[in-house]
Amino acid sequence: MVEFPPLTYSLDGHDDDKPHEECGVFGIWNAHDAGAMTALGLHALQHRGQEATGIVSYNDETRPGVTGFHTHKGMGLVGDVFSDARIIAGLPGHSAIGHNRYATTGATILRNVQPLFAEFEFGGLAVAHNGNLTNALSLRRALVRRGCIFQSTTDSEVFIHLIAISLYSTVNDRLIDALKQVVGAYSLTVLTQQALIGVRDPLGVRPLILGRIANEAGADKAAGPAWVLASESCALDIVGAEFVRDVEPGEIVVIDHSGVRSIKPFAPKRGHFCVFEYIYFARPDSVLDGHAVYDARKRIGAELARESAVEADVIVPVPDSGVPSAMGYSVESGIPFELGIIRNHYVGRTFIEPTDQIRNLGVKLKHSANRATIEGRRVILVDDSIVRGTTSRKIVEMVRAAGATEVHMRISSPPTTHSCFYGIDTPERSKLLAAQHTVEEMAHLIGADSLAFISLDGLYRALGRPGRDPEQPFYCDACFTGQYPISLADVDVDSQARQTELVTSR
Amino acid sequence: MVEFPPLTYSLDGHDDDKPHEECGVFGIWNAHDAGAMTALGLHALQHRGQEATGIVSYNDETRPGVTGFHTHKGMGLVGDVFSDARIIAGLPGHSAIGHNRYATTGATILRNVQPLFAEFEFGGLAVAHNGNLTNALSLRRALVRRGCIFQSTTDSEVFIHLIAISLYSTVNDRLIDALKQVVGAYSLTVLTQQALIGVRDPLGVRPLILGRIANEAGADKAAGPAWVLASESCALDIVGAEFVRDVEPGEIVVIDHSGVRSIKPFAPKRGHFCVFEYIYFARPDSVLDGHAVYDARKRIGAELARESAVEADVIVPVPDSGVPSAMGYSVESGIPFELGIIRNHYVGRTFIEPTDQIRNLGVKLKHSANRATIEGRRVILVDDSIVRGTTSRKIVEMVRAAGATEVHMRISSPPTTHSCFYGIDTPERSKLLAAQHTVEEMAHLIGADSLAFISLDGLYRALGRPGRDPEQPFYCDACFTGQYPISLADVDVDSQARQTELVTSR
Amino acid sequence: MVEFPPLTYSLDGHDDDKPHEECGVFGIWNAHDAGAMTALGLHALQHRGQEATGIVSYNDETRPGVTGFHTHKGMGLVGDVFSDARIIAGLPGHSAIGHNRYATTGATILRNVQPLFAEFEFGGLAVAHNGNLTNALSLRRALVRRGCIFQSTTDSEVFIHLIAISLYSTVNDRLIDALKQVVGAYSLTVLTQQALIGVRDPLGVRPLILGRIANEAGADKAAGPAWVLASESCALDIVGAEFVRDVEPGEIVVIDHSGVRSIKPFAPKRGHFCVFEYIYFARPDSVLDGHAVYDARKRIGAELARESAVEADVIVPVPDSGVPSAMGYSVESGIPFELGIIRNHYVGRTFIEPTDQIRNLGVKLKHSANRATIEGRRVILVDDSIVRGTTSRKIVEMVRAAGATEVHMRISSPPTTHSCFYGIDTPERSKLLAAQHTVEEMAHLIGADSLAFISLDGLYRALGRPGRDPEQPFYCDACFTGQYPISLADVDVDSQARQTELVTSR
Amino acid sequence: MVEFPPLTYSLDGHDDDKPHEECGVFGIWNAHDAGAMTALGLHALQHRGQEATGIVSYNDETRPGVTGFHTHKGMGLVGDVFSDARIIAGLPGHSAIGHNRYATTGATILRNVQPLFAEFEFGGLAVAHNGNLTNALSLRRALVRRGCIFQSTTDSEVFIHLIAISLYSTVNDRLIDALKQVVGAYSLTVLTQQALIGVRDPLGVRPLILGRIANEAGADKAAGPAWVLASESCALDIVGAEFVRDVEPGEIVVIDHSGVRSIKPFAPKRGHFCVFEYIYFARPDSVLDGHAVYDARKRIGAELARESAVEADVIVPVPDSGVPSAMGYSVESGIPFELGIIRNHYVGRTFIEPTDQIRNLGVKLKHSANRATIEGRRVILVDDSIVRGTTSRKIVEMVRAAGATEVHMRISSPPTTHSCFYGIDTPERSKLLAAQHTVEEMAHLIGADSLAFISLDGLYRALGRPGRDPEQPFYCDACFTGQYPISLADVDVDSQARQTELVTSR
């Protein structure tokens, strides 16, 4: 007999039944208003992290304004933290990097907000990091033993200390020295007085893209183009930059007054780009690794329709992320696509802690059923993933209450059976519904008449890869397969939970 | 030669190129947690007003908590103003009314936030008003002359004073006395110690709906059902209420311990329900006047496709409001529907006041083009209306920049040629693009290859009405026709601008 | 057997064991920067009310800036509410009035903050009121019955409504009409488009002073002097105004472009100026009714020394208000004056709600004993009054704990046996220690070796009046004698508590 | 010819014409509610720093609440930062340290607020520091070169890094290792999991006092007394602790479960306690180095009267700090003491940025003249010091304007001719009036009829020391003599200005 946890009330302001991208990074070089441009880029990357954001700019002596590094960070959305023209004016300079943070715990604190900055013998250095290091805890312990003092509780801070204590003399050598000691997934933007640097880990798990603003209006033409680094191409679009190329796995891109150079300090490996970026994380208008995300999602939906057809009257996406795959499903299956679930975007930052009375109503603050398209119909719901299953259960219940005669759930990813340790916030395995139950049990638990996930092969077909060959990987799919391409030094193999941290002050 | 105003940068946090609904109202009677239920109802009505919100509850002696009226109001979203459980706990009682406010000026101030409350000889009375009175200024002048002191600058305050000075003795008689003096559009919820009252103006311009919670969990069964009044049916859904009926034009619904009574103090007239509620204002999952809004919009889109077909490769809605009509257009025309414009919902409350440099980029903070679906294609954009045209122009420009070979704009309403004086915020006539230009000129101005609006007849066909007969009106369509069904006492006929107000203190 | 209430912990941020002045008023006419000048005047009057403050300015067409009335109000100190130059810039004009509020309840709300403003047929009018009306509740009931809608819960709002409904046509006549209906203590400043008006009630209970700035730097000389009205002379000093005279009891002073006029609509009566202003309320550097407050307090201290001598080693004032009388006591008695109690002025707005543990320590956040001056000595403590006695008890305890061998308490006012209904916040009689106990009992209760109050005759001797003759009063001393010179329409004679108010919404 | 800077308007919220104590420290061990007790202690030390405050508590496993270190810091007064019971509840444990900060620049930022905390191999450690290191910059440079990353811009952070990199293994040995490398003035409280540690620099420039709570109410008796470390004895009084002794110059006091131990790692030297603590900084009710501060000030005033008598009618202190010495002057001279200047304590956190008009009035927000005691009299003003002279000039001007016939200024310290580098905020030499001018010139500049300072010998006579013998120093008097007892490694000898810091990010 299968037990299901009691239906708990979600405050809904933050959907804890989705995996969460843990960050977005941005950097710009040789631009007028580098600080303002970075704020725009971070705004376009807002979907990758909404809890905090920060910018570090550098202004040299040749520009107006105070020379040196300038920092502003805050909790909340980019548009709120950088809402004031005086704040942007306080970030002068021709180069800047920025970071959006999604934190894995509620206790996000300002000193954890990136970019991190440190003063070295050779000058200042700022780092913004998307990803997760898998040996951060071991490194941290060793560094503390050596006398390093950590100010944040983020794994990203080890980069700074490793650079600080490196015996090499140039920034680039120190950076390479540090990179050779860390294990994990990382896309970095680094800012020094001399250069903007982009780094992608040897497997290229997280995205990082290079763009160029050829002829920036108002900028000094002679000074050449402005260069941009960003997690996704949508951040190039907003600042008017053209796409140049993906930074390659294991590549260091150094941008300075003499142009763009590439350093490849690691032995070449096949990349393992995170496949979930295509399924859910990336913005639909981004182009990653040469593929338009929106098209990929529609093809995945079509493949899903081929794999797990069912008779029905209407295809309804779970908004907003399920929309493109539902459209693909609809086109392939010929079943009409309808907006059967309306999403309320005005949820605000917080909402009432409701009374018991209201909790019993099972109120959905973020979604409501559009009865006109559902009542008396057989409904196929299309969503991108099932993590804990709590939201899926509520959605199915809501759709039934609105009069659906049948509710079939189709998921545009394989079952999520393993946690991610490379930069995505997923619950530990024991809380992943697919890790604990068969698909049939899951259907029962979420209350659907049927449930189907796309197969891993189907997913790769849709993405245009010839099938999954461990010898010739394109993607990291550890969350579906448990095959972790990067070693998990800090992870307890049994519980698959991260070890607790040293930090004792809150 | 047609001149067009220079492209101004919109801060985008608030889209000033759409008409704006000016309010939503809610009321509940005989419910546990009436205050919390009202907060939920207002949350569901958030699209009708986002700038301020308020609740007045009444607690009688038979309930726990402090007896009397309780008020909480604030600037911002419902979820933020009522975010704290202590605030909800401070609104005890079995009955409550609430209001969401969209203000027509930036200077929204707390004393203008509704519900308005006053203490009368017979006890307290609170009023929440959706709509606009067209003789408010004349009434206000007369009341001031008589010695009435106004505290707000809202037209809604005249209701309170007219009730206060009425020579009748019962609340109902005083209310009717007041209603007979006001001219305009109004849906009211009124709360006294004895009753919850709903009122709709004689022409029923704004919506008001009655619902019932038959068997409220945890409530005293013997006490009978809870009753709900709301601007739209989506607010019934969120509190678990069933739809009973629309309040009729000119009807007063009195809900008290003896049940629901109807009073009809006005001579019967044909209603003139605002047709724009179907086109744009109402939430797609609402049912108004017996019609599902979502279905109506799809039918309008289909009719639009029949009326103004054009060869193209792809139908792209201007999100979010253009989506259902674009879907209808796609189904009717057979041209594929694609999400060619992505909307960024994370704009935050404010955003940077950008530098000149960035302003020149023509940055779009809220919309971005999804190049994958647009590049090299002939695009039909579907939107619901054109007011000033500034946003349309930017959207067309953005779609072209993303590679569209042709851009055709289709609008699911007739040209907006006249201002609304019945509760919708529209610019004065001189700023309405359709009031100043032919359709061809407009196409040129917004940069589209072609532009078409649905015809008024087409609109009514789509809504299932046999054609527009001034003798047998169903709708108010003054914004398209200039035929104002309610006299405009305070309006300067020449400029069609509201006269300036008396108020001298800011 | 005498029982004493358990020693309760006072949060100390607000000393609830003193009577509290309920307000200060200010007005200025024909001055550059009238708004800024008013902020300064209110700052000088801050001791009369610290919980909220507000300014209304009027700018006519001849001056730069927006024409009309301008208002800014806020909770807190003048220096915080008017801290921003933009706020002051938002109060343009040549005339302004302002108000500091001390509220009698914790629930001070912004709509109660004065000046109150209303728009009349003849234009706007603002009122600031220091005092209390004793028939406000009766008037309010009658006005509500007539259809007037009250927005605040202050007694001061009746002035506004009485003026609004008056059948007279000029502002002055309407004001006189209103004044003839109210009973109580009031010093008013009133601002209209045409004039600044000052009013003092027929008995002149609260102070009001007229000043002049002869030759305002930078102002238009031809325009004549600027005129100032203020509760105390210290507010003249800060704006550089010279003292002209006290406004007389029952006098209306009208200041407009033609100068200063006096209207005396009431039959002449002998004034009853509040004697407690000399004892405690007024600032020591103010001059009231021709007497310097500081000198008066020293003379009272000297008289107290003559009346109730006791052998001791040191005179210690209870700071800050007890200092001048302690100095007078010391000079007269020849016993050295020492600062034996140190007052901590950094208490902040709030302080920790302490744990039980700390509460038991009897912590004094605002006062500490200066052991060096106390240890091993016989101490005479000089304070201005005893209300509930709780603070006195703690002070005596603290001084003993610091090693005093004897503690004698001397009070520079007669025993406070009756509540004030004329603008001073005093507890009801049942909570006045002197109303419930003999002086001997009081000494025992506060733990002093001896306790003495100045006699009423001694007080008047010190103030230079020949003795207390009810036929020839100079002062209101109802708090010491129970002889109330103004009728108490709204007061329950038995409980001497104010009746509860009508107001039902919080 | 002597030039004087134009009279600038001081915002007055912060008196920049006084030297400023740069900090207060507190620590407590083995107490219930150690966090709350520390908040009280910091409140008593509020005069030593008002801009920021912080507490770190440690809770071990034997106590309720979360085990570990807990931190709360904020900008502002203790009573505001720790105003909420939940904040205090978030600081559980039996031991805690705290810090009040006075910052020398406007840009106080949260990461500079102490106590500083770091996690070491052996566990956490928190430090609070009063004083200034004179070789901090050199040390910082060396530490950065070694790879240490600084997070704050305070000199205090070097302690943390020196402890972190020490090769010794125990905390005490690491601490001693660190102390041997720093040069400067420091009183420290240090908290680890095992101990509370107090440290005073070898010359004992800043104060540090040990106290004990013998029998803490509610605490476990068996557990022995609670121990307290504090900058001044007034902080012992507020938590009910008895004075035990001053921590000696160069002493380390280690308080742990086995009691109190003393470590003296430095060769014995004669102390050089800051004499300005007696003159101005310390609270008058504190006892320092065996002397009651209040008594010392009175004796200084008396000595000043003997040294520089002048005929006059009245002695007026410049409040609040000048009061005790004025009293001593009055007693010695026989001239009456009067409160001729009233201080307004309600200045608020900020005040209006005044208009030019008001600036010309020379408005004094914090002081006003009490004309009754001044008019027509010869006045001796007594103040504790003259730094820039700007306030003195305004005070003299104000007193003259109030009618004084003569104004003589007497100062209870010798002329301040040198800057302090040991923890007191003084302007650089070029801005010290006494460094640039003779006493006669100074009298002229501040507008006084005469000016006199106490002599250094007179000062020491008053403090009971037999005369100033460089061989047998008791005090640091470098600000009067330029004889700096601790070397000034980081100071530019010529300009006597601190060198600019490395830090490049703001």
Domain boundary among B467, B484, B499: B467
In a domain, B11, yes or no: no
C-alpha–C-alpha distance, residues C321 and B104, integer Å: 52
Helix, strand, coil % in chain B, rounded to nearest 5: 30, 25, 45
What number of C-beta contacts closer than 8 Å exist between A and D?
89
Percent of chain B exceeding pLDDT 70 equals 85
CB A96 within 8 A of CB A27: yes
Angle at which helices D157-165 and D171-179 pack, to 10 degrees? 120
Choose among A83, A352, A368: nearest Cβ to B36: A352
Per-residue confidence band for D492, with pLDDT thresholds at 50, 70 and 90: low
Quote the tokens at residue B286. 């609402």
Chain B positions touching A284 (Cβ under 8 A) are: 339, 342, 370
C-alpha–C-alpha distance, residues C240 and C230, integer Å: 13
Same domain, B322 and B437: yes
Residues in binding site of D: 274, 321, 383-384, 420, 476, 479
Cβ count near C173 (within 10 Å): 14
Percent of chain D exceeding pLDDT 90 equals 69
Using CA atoms of C486, C489, C492, C494 in order, give the dihedral in degrees to the nearest 10. 50
Nearest Cα to Cα of residue C44 among C196, C232, C212: C232
pLDDT of amino acid D506: 38
Same domain, A29 and A78: yes
C-alpha–C-alpha distance, residues D58 and D70, integer Å: 6
| Burial zone of D353 (CB within 10 Å; 0-12 exposed, 13-18 middle, 19+ buried) | middle
Using CA atoms of A325, A329, A331, A334 in order, give the dihedral in degrees to the nearest 10. -160
Asked if D82's CB is within 8 angstroms of C352's CB, the reply is: yes
In a domain, B495, yes or no: no
Asked if A161's CB is within 8 angstroms of D119's CB, the reply is: no
In a domain, D106, yes or no: yes
Per-residue confidence band for D193, with pLDDT thresholds at 50, 70 and 90: very high
Closest Cα in chain A to D169: A145
C-alpha–C-alpha distance, residues D371 and C284, integer Å: 10
Quote the tokens at residue D505. 């990010």
Mean pLDDT of chain C: 87
Asked if C70's CB is within 8 angstroms of B119's CB, the reply is: no
Whole-number CA gyration radius for chain C: 23
The residue with greater pLDDT, A50 or D341, is D341
Quote the tokens at residue A202. 């040897």
pLDDT of amino acid C1: 31
Q: Catalytic residue numbers of A?
A: 23
Helix intervals (H) in C205-255: 234-238
DSSP string, D144-204: HHHT----S--TTHHHHHHHHH-S-SSHHHHHHHHHTT--EEEEEEEEESS-EEEEE-TT-
Q: Is A310 helix (H, G, I), strand (E, B) or coil?
A: coil
Whether the pLDDT of residue B223 is over 60: the answer is yes
Alpha-carbon distance B361 to nearest alpha carbon in chain A (angstroms): 7
- As beta bridge partners, residue C197 has C190, C254
Per-residue confidence band for A366, with pLDDT thresholds at 50, 70 and 90: confident
Tell me the ipTM for this assembly.
Answer: 0.88
CB A228 within 8 A of CB A95: no
C-alpha–C-alpha distance, residues B453 and C469, integer Å: 91
In a domain, B2, yes or no: no
Helix (H) or strand (E) holding A155: none
Interface test with A, best of D58, D113, D505, D506 (most A CBs within 10 A): D505
pLDDT in tens, B477-492: 999 999 999 998 776 5
pLDDT of amino acid D362: 62
Closest Cα in chain D to C290: D372
Chain A positions touching D121 (Cβ under 8 A) are: 144-145
Interfacial residues of B (vs C; Cβ cutoff 8 Å): 56, 66, 68-71, 110-111, 117-121, 123-124, 126, 144-151, 160-161, 164-166, 502-506
CB D486 within 8 A of CB D203: yes
Choose among B217, B353, B363: nearest Cβ to A360: B217
Are there at least 3 beta-carbon pairs closer than 8 Å between D and B?
A: no
pLDDT of amino acid D427: 86
Chain A positions touching B84 (Cβ under 8 A) are: 350, 352-353
Alpha-carbon distance B70 to nearest alpha carbon in chain A (angstroms): 17
pLDDT in tens, D272-286: 999 999 999 999 999
Asked if C149's CB is within 8 angstroms of B148's CB, the reply is: yes
Quote the tokens at residue A64. 């107006």
C-alpha–C-alpha distance, residues D103 and D97, integer Å: 19
Touching partners of D (3+ C-beta pairs < 8 Å): A, C
Same domain, A347 and A211: no
pLDDT in tens, C264-273: 999 888 889 9
DSSP string, B450-488: EEEE--HHHHHHHTT-S---TTS--EE-HHHH---SS--
Whether the pLDDT of residue C245 is over 80: the answer is yes
Whether the pLDDT of residue B355 is over 80: the answer is no
Number of residues assigned to chain C: 506
Same domain, B376 and B231: no
Are there at least 3 beta-carbon pairs closer than 8 Å between B and C?
A: yes
The sign of the torsion formed by the CA atoms of B357, B361, B366, B372 equals negative
Task: Determine if the peptide bond prior to C354 is cis (ω within 30°).
Answer: no
Same domain, B240 and B321: no
Q: Catalytic residue numbers of B?
A: 23
- φ, ψ at D306 (rounded to 5°): -65, -40
Nearest Cα to Cα of residue A150 among D125, D130, D140, D168: D125
C-alpha–C-alpha distance, residues B9 and B501, integer Å: 30
Per-residue confidence band for C356, with pLDDT thresholds at 50, 70 and 90: low
Active-site choice (C20, C23, C312, C415): C23
- φ, ψ at C197 (rounded to 5°): -125, 135
pLDDT of amino acid A357: 59
Touching partners of C (3+ C-beta pairs < 8 Å): B, D
Strand ranges, E, within C257-317: 259-263, 273-274, 287-288, 291-292, 314-317
C-alpha–C-alpha distance, residues A478 and D351, integer Å: 60
Asked if A238's CB is within 8 angstroms of B358's CB, the reply is: no
C-alpha–C-alpha distance, residues B99 and B39, integer Å: 9
Whether the pLDDT of residue A200 is over 90: the answer is yes
Alpha-carbon distance B397 to nearest alpha carbon in chain C (angstroms): 39
pLDDT of amino acid B366: 85
pLDDT of amino acid B468: 64
Alpha-carbon distance D465 to nearest alpha carbon in chain C (angstroms): 19
Whether the pLDDT of residue D355 is over 90: the answer is no
In a domain, C281, yes or no: no
pLDDT of amino acid A500: 39
Per-residue confidence band for D498, with pLDDT thresholds at 50, 70 and 90: very low
Choose among D39, D348, D373: nearest Cβ to C79: D348
Interface test with B, best of A63, A371, A374, A397 (most B CBs within 10 A): A371
| Burial zone of C152 (CB within 10 Å; 0-12 exposed, 13-18 middle, 19+ buried) | middle
Cβ count near D3 (within 10 Å): 6
Domain boundary among D464, D480, D499: D464
pLDDT in tens, C318-350: 988 899 999 999 999 999 999 999 988 776 655
Chain D positions touching A164 (Cβ under 8 A) are: 147-149
Same domain, D201 and D265: yes
Mean pLDDT computed over A158-178: 95
Angle at which helices B157-165 and B136-146 pack, to 10 degrees? 40
Closest Cα in chain C to B71: C506
Q: Residue D420: give the domain boundaries.
A: 296-464
B148 belongs to an annotated ligand binding site = no
Cβ count near A310 (within 10 Å): 15
B476 belongs to an annotated ligand binding site = yes
- As beta bridge partners, residue C368 has C342
Encoded amino acid at B79, one letter: G
How far is the CA of C421 from the CAs of A350, C24, C158, in angstroms? 46, 16, 17
Work out how many domains chain B is built from and give that number: 2
Taking phi over 0 as left and psi of -120 to 50 as alpha, with beta for the rest, B348 belongs to left
Q: Is D139 helix (H, G, I), strand (E, B) or coil?
A: helix
Least confident of B206-210, C60-64, D245-249, D404-408: C60-64
- Burial letters A226-255, b for 16+ CB under 10 A, else e: bbbbbbbbbbbbbbbbebbebbbbbbbbbb
Same domain, B218 and B311: no
pLDDT of amino acid B107: 43
In sequence order, which residues have a C-beta less than 8 Å from that of residue A349 and are 6 or more positions away? A13, A76, B79, B80, B83
C-alpha–C-alpha distance, residues A187 and A33, integer Å: 24
Closest Cα in chain D to A149: D118
Mean pLDDT computed over B115-139: 93
In a domain, C345, yes or no: yes
Choose among B69, B147, B503: nearest Cβ to C504: B69
Asked if D363's CB is within 8 angstroms of C83's CB, the reply is: no
Same domain, B97 and B228: yes
- As beta bridge partners, residue C254 has C197, C261
Choose among D119, D144, D506: nearest Cβ to A504: D119
pLDDT of amino acid A356: 61
Asked if C372's CB is within 8 angstroms of D287's CB, the reply is: yes
Helix (H) or strand (E) holding D26: strand D23-29
The sign of the torsion formed by the CA atoms of D231, D237, D241, D243 equals positive
Mean pLDDT computed over D152-179: 94
In a domain, C496, yes or no: no
Q: Is D394 helix (H, G, I), strand (E, B) or coil?
A: helix
CATH label of the domain that carries residue A231: 3.60.20.10
Same domain, B261 and B407: no
Choose among D324, D352, D357: nearest Cβ to C82: D352
Nearest Cα to Cα of residue B387 among B423, B421, B429: B429
Closest Cα in chain A to D117: A505
Q: Catalytic residue numbers of D?
A: 23
In a domain, C480, yes or no: no
Nearest Cα to Cα of residue A195 among A170, A214, A162: A170
C479 belongs to an annotated ligand binding site = yes
How far is the CA of D12 from the CAs of C54, D353, D354, D367, D400, in angstroms? 22, 11, 12, 9, 20
Chain B positions touching A349 (Cβ under 8 A) are: 79-80, 83
Give A423's DSSP letter: S
Are there at least 3 beta-carbon pairs closer than 8 Å between A and C?
A: no
Same domain, D167 and D239: yes
Chain B positions touching A87 (Cβ under 8 A) are: 352
C-alpha–C-alpha distance, residues B220 and C282, integer Å: 59
Whether the pLDDT of residue A254 is over 50: the answer is yes
C-alpha–C-alpha distance, residues C84 and D349, integer Å: 11
pLDDT of amino acid A192: 97
Closest Cα in chain A to D90: A506
Same domain, D333 and D402: yes
How far is the CA of D293 from the CAs of D234, D285, D322, D415, D465, in angstroms? 11, 6, 13, 20, 15
Chain D positions touching C88 (Cβ under 8 A) are: 352-355
Mean pLDDT of chain D: 87
How far is the CA of B95 from the CAs of B9, B190, B191, C389, D377, in angstroms? 45, 11, 8, 45, 71
Asked if B150's CB is within 8 angstroms of C119's CB, the reply is: yes
C234 belongs to an annotated ligand binding site = no
CATH label of the domain that carries residue C399: 3.40.50.2020
Same domain, D190 and D155: yes
Asked if C148's CB is within 8 angstroms of B68's CB, the reply is: no
